[in-house]
Amino acid sequence: MNASLALKSRIFLGIAACAAATASSRSASAAPRETATLHYAPAPNCPDEDGFRHRVAARLGYDPFVASAARVIDVKITTSGKRLTATTVLHLPGKSDSVRKLDEAADHCDALTDTVAASVATVVDPVRAGAAPAAAADPPAKEKEEVVKVSTEPGAAGAMTRLHLDSDWAGSEIQRKLGTSYGSGTVNGKYATVTVLHFERVCRAPCVADVPTEGEYYVDAPGMAARKFAIPPNAKRLDAHVKSAPAWPLALALYGGVGVGATLAITGGVLLAVSDSSAAVPMTVVGVLLLAGGITALVLLPKTHVESADGARLDASAKPQKSVQLTAQGLVF
């Protein structure tokens, strides 16, 4: 008798649980779909806005984000050293902003993004977020990354680095110096020597490439000050970010300041030494001022920098070079 009663109790509890789940599902499907406006700013190498929206939609069964909604959600993921911080701000009319911050290791951005997406889904539509099956919360399978293979010399195949590069300047390219060739001949009947620097284009950011660890690399783009950088020894993987700067202020400082200033200063000095020209003194003074201003600008103006994910300067680890170097790509500051 007791066994029969226990069996009936289990059957009743099972039916009740199924009924409760069905009622919850019906309640979620009957409830109106909630919406919000999303502002999303990811850190480098984190899922983009489409990937984030997909994660939220997977938990709700629909994409809740529209262009103009009363509820506004700001999500910003930033990098600080070896840590990532996700800041979520909820704006509601007539109410104080609600702020939530989450912290994770720099190489766990996918996991951090999943956690933020689950939190946002709950804020937007708690009914559907609670009713969604666990399988729906799984993130989509990561697409296979396309890796550029760079040829290398025999014997160097073991010293390779997988380089992930992104840049804040459109059209940024990684270029690898292959070597220098020298030649001589005649041009219009005059003897001349020719020096040619040979470069190989690796890929355009954002991109992933397997490159020889030991090599001379440059990042360059139209209108951007090119920069030489080096890969740290024994680095099997390197996440690099280009913080770019325009080339024209540096070129103006070099040619308009240093070049013109030096020319005026030397010319004025020569005139002072050989004649009593009234223009010699002001020419010398202007030349010295321009020269000093140009040199100061070359030192102080922002330059392009290449950094690793933890903020280490990769261009600083390269071999010391002159402040201005003439290459096949132009002047490198």
Question: Residues near 169 by Cβ (< 8 Å), separated by ≥ 6?
Answer: 221, 224, 242, 244, 304
How many angstroms separate the CA atoms of 313 and 316, rounded?
A: 5
Residue 321 pLDDT more than 60?
Answer: no
Which has more pLDDT, 264 or 27?
Answer: 264
Q: What percentage of the chain carries pLDDT values higher than 90?
A: 14
**Contact status, residue 207 vs residue 165, Cβ threshold 8 Å:** yes
- What's the CATH class of domain 147-244? mainly beta
Q: What is the pLDDT of residues 215-258, one digit of tens each?
A: 889 999 889 898 998 888 888 888 889 988 898 988 898 998 89
Provide the pLDDT for residue 6: 45
How many angstroms separate the CA atoms of 237 and 235, rounded?
A: 5
Residue 95 pLDDT more than 80?
Answer: yes
End-to-end C-alpha distance for the chain, whole angstroms: 91
* Segment (H or E) for 162: strand 160-167
Q: What is the pLDDT of residues 240-250, one digit of tens each?
A: 899 888 989 88
How many angstroms separate the CA atoms of 37 and 19, rounded?
A: 35
Residue 163 pLDDT more than 80?
Answer: yes
Which has more pLDDT, 39 or 276?
Answer: 39
Q: What is the pLDDT of residues 296-305, one digit of tens each?
A: 988 898 888 8
What topology does CATH give the domain 30-137?
A: Double Stranded RNA Binding Domain (3.30.160)
148 pLDDT band (50/70/90 cuts)? low
Provide the pLDDT for residue 5: 42
Mean pLDDT of 253-278: 87
11 pLDDT band (50/70/90 cuts)? very low
Provide the pLDDT for residue 198: 83
pTM over 0.85: no
Mean pLDDT of 175-185: 81
Provide the pLDDT for residue 61: 85
Q: What is the pLDDT of residues 69-90, one digit of tens each?
A: 888 999 999 988 888 899 999 9
Three-state DSSP at 1 gives coil
How many angstroms separate the CA atoms of 320 and 213, rounded?
A: 18
Provide the pLDDT for residue 17: 43
